[in-house]
Amino acid sequence: MGSESFMELVKGRRSIRRFLPKKVPREVMESCLEAARLAPSGENVQPWRFLVLDEPDRIRDFGEQAFSGIYRFTRWALKAPVIVVILAKLDILTNRIGAHLQGTQYYLLDIGIAGTHLMMRAYEQGLGGCWIGWFNAKKAARALRVPKKYRVVCCMALGYYEEPRKRRKKKYELGKVAWFNEMP
């Protein structure tokens, strides 16, 4: 897969929720994290932090808390060989000022960029994955003993997978989502 063009990677990647029971080598995960680390961020504050859960007991303990109650529909992630918990470092002055002045939580944009780097690198190395936003963030933080200066933002389930059916979700045509110089 390493020789594919970027657009082939973009077109081929999809959300994977069923994983093979195969361990992901640490060096593969480190390569994904390195891609995320190199992502750009506003004022280069790099607000992301990554906690990789790759031991089945740790994934189970985390999931029993984070995917409980109304979040139980995300329990499929407990079968993933890896869950990456993505945290935001909250004590960065630039993020607080930007949020106050612009009304935008810039650290979320930065984390989205870093997470996309991680996910695309994972796919390039033969892993499938799925972003997870439906979980109990407070219980997740408690289960992982996350210090107050961090916020659990999202998770990613990652692992090897069997090729899914070729069904693709319909995407809007470019002209419906992008314009040049003025809105229609």
Query: In whole angstroms, what is the distance from residue 71 CA to residue 134 CA?
Result: 6
Report if residue 154 sits inside a domain. yes
Angle between helices 137-144 and 56-66 (to 10 degrees): 140
Report if residue 171 sits inside a domain. no
Q: Which residues have CB under 8 Å from 121's CB, separation 6+?
A: 31, 32, 34, 35, 36
Report if residue 132 sits inside a domain. yes
Structure tokens at 146: 């996350």
| Overall domain count for the chain | 1
Query: In whole angstroms, what is the distance from residue 112 CA to residue 106 CA?
Result: 10
Specify the residue for token string 């090897």. Answer: 160
Which range of residues forms the domain containing residue 42? 15-162
pLDDT tens digits, one per residue of 142-171: 999 999 999 999 999 999 998 876 667 789
Report if residue 174 sits inside a domain. no
Report if residue 2 sits inside a domain. no
Specify the residue for token string 């093979």. Answer: 20
Report if residue 53 sits inside a domain. yes
State the CATH number of the domain containing residue 56: 3.40.109.10
pLDDT digit string (tens) for the chain, length 184 residues:
445 588 888 888 999 999 999 999 999 999 999 999 999 998 899 999 999 999 999 999 999 999 999 999 999 999 999 999 999 998 766 666 766 677 778 889 999 999 999 999 999 999 999 999 999 999 999 999 999 999 999 999 999 998 876 667 789 999 999 999 998 8
Report if residue 58 sits inside a domain. yes
Q: Which residues have CB under 8 Å from 106's CB, separation 6+?
A: 42, 94, 95, 98, 99
Q: What are the DSSP E strand ranges found in the chain?
A: 48-53, 82-89, 128-132, 150-159
Predicted pLDDT of residue 1: 45
Report if residue 158 sits inside a domain. yes
